[in-house]
Amino acid sequence: MTDISDSALWAVIIGLGLGSFGLRFAFLGLIGDRPMPEWLLRHLRYTAVAILPALVAPLVVWPTATEGNFDLPCISAALIALTVGYVTKNVLIAMLTGAVTLSGMVYLLS
């Protein structure tokens, strides 16, 4: 592990915080009180829906725990969560079903 000085660490933390604040302020502070075009609002609706698959997909396609080998519990949980989410249109139920499936498959296969 590399040694990093306290001042460099704090500089990175403060810089990331300012960058995060700047991005949010650009949308909320500068144009938050103005009406946005319909095409932009339509695209923004899908942002939250796209974040979860973007976080989960690499773990399913290339699981670190198995060094990229096929992992039946991960694939099963992902497919069941996808199916439940598509049928019910409920993200929380899909996530819970996927978590239960993953836990159950790991328990059964161990």
Domain positions in the chain are 1-34, 38-109
Predicted pLDDT at 1 = 57
End-to-end CA separation in angstroms for the chain: 33
CA distances from 105 to 30, 38, 55, 56, 88 (A): 49, 44, 21, 17, 22
Q: Which residues contact 73 (CB under 8 A, 6 or more apart)?
A: 101, 102, 105, 106, 109
User: Rounded mean pLDDT of 38-48?
Assistant: 86
User: Rounded mean pLDDT of 50-67?
Assistant: 83
More reliable by pLDDT, 3 or 98: 98
User: How many residues would you count in the chain?
Assistant: 110
User: Rounded mean pLDDT of 74-96?
Assistant: 93
In 3D, which of 81, 76, 73, 74 has the Cα closest to residue 98? 81
More reliable by pLDDT, 94 or 29: 94
Considering the entire predicted model, what is its pTM? Answer: 0.60
